[in-house]
Amino acid sequence: SQTIHQWPATLVQPVGSPLSLECTVEGTSNPNLYWYRQAAGRGLQLLFYSVGIGQISSEVPQNLSASRPQDRQFILSSKKLLLSDSGFYLCAWSGTAAYEQYFGPGTRLTVT
Amino acid sequence: SQQGEEDPQALSIQEGENATMNCSYKTSINNLQWYRQNSGRGLVHLILIRSNEREKHSGRLRVTLDTSKKSSSLLITASRAADTASYFCGSTGGSNYKLTFGKGTLLTVNP
């Protein structure tokens, strides 16, 4: 069966520090991968999605970037965090020709 | 964009009652999906309804889709305390698989 992992689960970082969040998927090949951010009490905002290794589409201009160095690995990064980067970050995957998305447990990021 | 907007923002009911949540979207869609999110957790896929379908059932869940009104509803029958969660609708359209979510409905089922 397929599983999706995210780490760390929680993170507290000072303003101006770098960020690296990792997401890995097991049990499937060539998934579509997604990064979302959820602000407190708000809906989900799609940040990046990827249909293959090295293929990244950015949905919202911001302080963040994403990379996909391996088929089932998706990384969210920042060189210098802002206070507004605080939130709950969710990674998700879907099959190549499927619409249903499967979400990881999320990372709660607090920028202080 | 084809953003979904859920209504109401919050709903509080007693165990055993039915809960109905609504979702509206703006542009044509391929399908509409409903997800559940327990507090502090990831989203869980509940049900997908395609644009050529009008109604779909899964256990205690019933989803309807009215493409003429660009709206969908999620009915949870005989609710349980464990159904307490936020519920989101998400839609896809065009030639990609990106989901656009609304802000969700927070459902509280009181025992």
pLDDT in tens, B18-62: 999 999 998 888 899 999 999 999 999 999 999 999 999 999 999
Give which of B99, B45, B105 is closest to A4, Cα–Cα. B45
- Is A97 a residue whose pLDDT tops 80? no
| Interchain pair B45, A94: CB under 8 A | no
CB nearest A99 (choices: B40, B92, B103):
B92
Q: What are the boundaries of each domain within chain B?
A: 5-92+103-110
A21 falls within a domain = yes
Q: Could you tell me the pLDDT band of residue A70, with boundaries at 50, 70 and 90?
A: very high
Q: Residue-wise over B67-94: b if at least 16 C-beta within 10 A, else e?
A: eeebbbbbebeebeeebbbbbbbbbbbe
Give me the CATH number covering residue A34: 2.60.40.10
For residue B4, what pLDDT is reported?
65
- Is A72 a residue whose pLDDT tops 60? yes
Say if A52 is an interface residue toward chain B (CB within 8 Å). no
Which residues span the domain enclosing A68? 3-8+16-101
B91/chain A closest Cα distance in angstroms: 9
The fold for domain B5-92+103-110 equals Immunoglobulin-like (2.60.40)
| Interchain pair A106, B101: CB under 8 A | no
Strand B10-14 relative to strand B105-110, pairing: parallel
pLDDT in tens, A21-67: 999 999 999 999 999 999 877 789 999 999 999 999 998 867 899 99
A107 falls within a domain = no
The number of domains in chain A is 1
